[in-house]
Structure 1
């Protein structure tokens, strides 16, 4: 898919990275979502959805990308993510920007509440940027 006109060049880079990853590793029912995110230091980290035979063992692409970013961060520094883009190949074999599931919304907003998360609107079918914390109105904020 091409980037929406409102998407910045940096977020377009994330979209392309997620699409490239998913195009390379996609397997129906096993690896259907890829995520690319940018940390405050400018680095891009990616992750791919890993489906398990019992659904509880599955791991979402957003969690994989966040874990990869955390693993690459400097000791003692908090994880600081500025933007997240996730893609899926559906329907009819085309790429689509998707919103994180509920668990991933919690995870992203726990670690980077002010990050920009791209989602495709239900009405209008348009990709738009939202603040991570805005994906969960009235979210409980845990003190770490």
Structure 2
């Protein structure tokens, strides 16, 4: 992981370490946009599960709100973390909805995921997380 992406990981861990609450705020995301700015988001669980919002969506919305109206949102890199048992942070892959969202706005963004077989943290292109994704012109 590059120094810039290691910074994103540290930011996501700091945010989650500060706000974590079991069943409420279990995931944090940090992303970097093309202008170098870092934006964060925290998973917000609702009492009706459908009302919950993922950390990646919150971070994307925050980033979009920071950009001028006519300028496209370009995300360079995304890191999401969750706290596992024994207080250990773990890089996690976005859910299917968030994969769609990230790839809709920045198909070439680097998304860090943990491999299921050996727990290695690896980069993936957002669009590659969704094989055969239909492309919509925004």
For the superposition of Structure 1 and Structure 2, which TM-score range results when normalised by the shorter chain? Answer: over 0.9
Residue of structure 1 equivalent to 2:14? 20
Q: Which aligned runs of 4 or more in structure 1 are off by greater than 6 angstroms?
A: none
CA RMSD of aligned residues (A): 0.6
User: How many positions carry a matched residue from both structures?
Assistant: 138
Correspondence for 2:39 among 45, 57, 65: 45
Residue of structure 2 equivalent to 1:72? 66
Once the two structures are TM-superposed, the CA of residue 27 in structure 1 deviates from its matched residue by: 0.2
Residue of structure 2 equivalent to 1:133? 127
TM-score under structure 2 normalisation?
0.98
Partner SS, residue 21 of structure 2: coil
Residue of structure 2 equivalent to 1:89? 83
Residue ranges of structure 2 left out of the alignment (5+ in a row): none
2:10 is equivalent to residue 11 of structure 1: no
Residue ranges of structure 1 left out of the alignment (5+ in a row): 1-6
Once the two structures are TM-superposed, the CA of residue 30 in structure 1 deviates from its matched residue by: 0.2
Equivalent positions of 1:100-115 (< 5 A) are 100-115=94-109
Residue of structure 2 equivalent to 1:122? 116
